[in-house]
Structure 1
């Protein structure tokens, strides 16, 4: 995994512009526009964004974007239902710095020195209610809490003290929810540059990007092609969710290609897993846990669609919804791989029969007791029909060709409709044998000498 360079939020939009350049003016009766032809447009600000209102107002994802145990950063700071975690943050902070050889005041002083940079990582106006001292204190306690979490969850670092303290004060259930609050929520992210500072103060051997890499690799150790991924070096992560998104989708970014095809060309006639099975296209578990790794193999009268193993839990839907929210926000990704994955899976999962088929093939693993619940929850994830159509276009196009090939699908439909169970097949064989025996008996009766 290539080391990431943590981007300084303030540096994204700073710069000087010339005031002596000639300016062209366009004027009409109501509007005057001044354009400096020699001034290059400034790159857009990239910040820790808030969830777009179109998604937040959607009742289907209510509660998917708000922390349930701990607030990180200013967007949800001070909520009454999160005060229990606020009381434990100073305890966690003291534990984290206890073996650093430094004092809390030294950490506080260093954070205060970059308070303006930290403010610039959030939406303009969202931190105005806090003085520099108040905001720096928030950054200090929240940053140390997240740092302790990363240290605890990274192999080879930390100990069980963090888990013990959270379990003692919050309980085992809330400890489970803390992971989702820190890792998956767009509005609960923390500037990586501040985390990098805190980690370096704890130990000169602590490298934030290396620790994050180990932590993510531990959580997704089954993903066999992980070491082959690279990210787009032109867009450095500014918070953990973005780091995770780039880590997860770097392959999609690299393989993305431009196309002159019309949008309607990306819509295909095939639908669910059960419908594909009726056409002789069978789902099979892929060997890679990478959600982008769908493969299709076509044979004479049947085909195989390899689908990566998928785990569905309540946390999975929160994770997917927040990654879509991240893709939906301004100045972030220029492609939409999470939306593309969700839309593809929505087309494959329409009914409980589809869920049953995927479970039978050991492709889908669910913590829900009802298959209907999986169908409903997955279809609740809002994508608004948007995606980067080129991501899965090749595999979809190959499915479409096989699906609409009459010669290949006729025999498959015959088997599916008339020989879908072993008893039906046995009955067919017996009936065919009886017909053949009757024919032979008649033949030898008519022509006994032959």
Structure 2
């Protein structure tokens, strides 16, 4: 028989199987039945393994920009965390479409969508056809399997491009109309939502699984008329108003191609790439030459850094990347960190950004790296207290222990960029080493913390000095009377 079977039939001596192993020649009739079976089994395994590898590689390349929440975060032991990924009032996009919890808000979308289309002086059918044409491309922004699993449990059918285009049109027009009026004083009255609903909707619009591709929004406002300022400016201001910092951020440069609003927000709060030292840049280049990737090194916690006379101060800006260390007078140091407000909304934003960065194949780990840096500083509740006193943390979440527990729980399994803040960490470590190697510095810090750490200790020291001085004067006058 000249033709070879597909699975496991012996081939000529010069032919190799998939794994590169030469198979027995056809003239070999002495092989036992068991050996033949083993050969067939080996080829099947090799074929299966290589096919699976190819599929896994292709799946990795197709990682969507709006993925589902990673399993590790969704199944967190903290019972509060899973609830911070699911919308409260309104669903955007296909993942939560049609679910009962959002039916009431769903009814209001069409009215808002019509108003946006009328005010922008566009035709509904024209907008629909523009989106329908791009829907096969836009579908790739999502986990396609998750779309039809979440969509219709009755028919078990995949969501059609027609249905998906309708969702994009309705949700996109609603979203732009909401952004257009939400910042106005009478915005809640115009939109028909209570203040409570408005607050929750704003949170819902920055959840990872509740995103629309930014390309959809651009298609919808590209030809809009009578929009002053432009819709892009309104979106920029809307995103900037949700930055979790008390001072806010003045947005100058934005990501020219954000994937969605959450990605837009990530770029705004980072402001610039996480700082990487020249040494670490060289290390990363050497990684490709086999010298290995640098590892993340944590800092000492706040309590330990205070022992070596390192103080804390808020940074001049609120960007997460604005972290610096400044030596002072050769004996002390100042670590500057951006001021953040810790409340439920801040934590929801951080968690969804963590989920996005955990799924992002571009390895942009700016928010994760910041949280891990802050987590290394916070080991106990009194570390939170120290950062509060320095004006770095503004706690509106609860007890100081709750804030410390949030960072410790969330960051326990995160993998940050090992090069993030490397210059700052090296400067801090150098300061700590100099302190431990110098007895005079230790004595100076001990005296400072013992006698000048509070007004009461300073008053006690002053009283003791005055008492000793008066005693000395009295002794002198008794020995040498005037």
- Give the shorter-chain TM-score range: 0.7 to 0.9
Number of residue equivalences:
409
Question: Who is 2:443 aligned against?
Answer: 410
RMSD: 3.5
**Which deviations, in whole Å up to 9, do the C-alpha atoms of 1:345-400 show, x marking residues without a partner?**
12223333233332333222232343233223333324514101222121122122
Question: Who is 2:100 aligned against?
Answer: 80
Whether contact under 8 Å (2:271, 2:321) holds in the other structure is: no
Structure-1 separation of matches of 2:402 and 2:159? 43
Structure-1 separation of matches of 2:421 and 2:469? 50
Q: Larger RCO: Structure 1 or Structure 2 (Cα < 8 Å, ≥ 6 residues apart)?
A: 1
Which residues of 2 match residues 308-319 of structure 1 at below 5 A?
A: 308-319=338-349
Structure-1 separation of matches of 2:165 and 2:378? 47
CA apart distance, 1:258: 2.7
Whether contact under 8 Å (1:339, 1:383) holds in the other structure is: no
**Is structure 2 residue 37 aligned with structure 1 residue 44?**
no
Whether contact under 8 Å (1:280, 1:409) holds in the other structure is: no
Structure-1 separation of matches of 2:234 and 2:20? 56
Give the direction of change, closer, same or farther, for the CA distance of 1:210–1:43 in structure 2 (3 Å limit).
farther
Question: Who is 1:69 aligned against?
Answer: 89
Structure-2 separation of matches of 1:125 and 1:253? 34
Secondary structure of 1:282's counterpart equals strand
Whether contact under 8 Å (2:89, 2:102) holds in the other structure is: yes
**Is structure 2 residue 324 aligned with structure 1 residue 303?**
no
**Is structure 2 residue 406 aligned with structure 1 residue 377?**
yes
Structure-2 separation of matches of 1:370 and 1:249? 27
Secondary structure of 2:311's counterpart equals strand
Which residues of 2 match residues 186-335 of structure 1 at below 5 A?
A: 186-203=208-225, 209-217=232-240, 222=247, 226-227=251-252, 236-249=257-270, 251-252=272-273, 255=276, 257-260=280-283, 266-268=296-298, 270-272=300-302, 274-299=303-328, 300-331=330-361, 333-335=362-364
Secondary structure of 1:72's counterpart equals coil
2:383 to 323, 337, 354: 354
Question: Who is 2:37 aligned against?
Answer: none
TM-score normalised by length of structure 2: 0.74
Structure-2 separation of matches of 1:358 and 1:293? 16
Structure 1 residues 206-215 or 403-412, which shifts more? 206-215
Structure 2 unaligned runs (5+)?
A: 1-16, 22-41, 52-57, 149-157, 285-291
Whether contact under 8 Å (2:132, 2:161) holds in the other structure is: yes
CA apart distance, 1:282: 1.3
**Is structure 2 residue 210 aligned with structure 1 residue 177?**
no
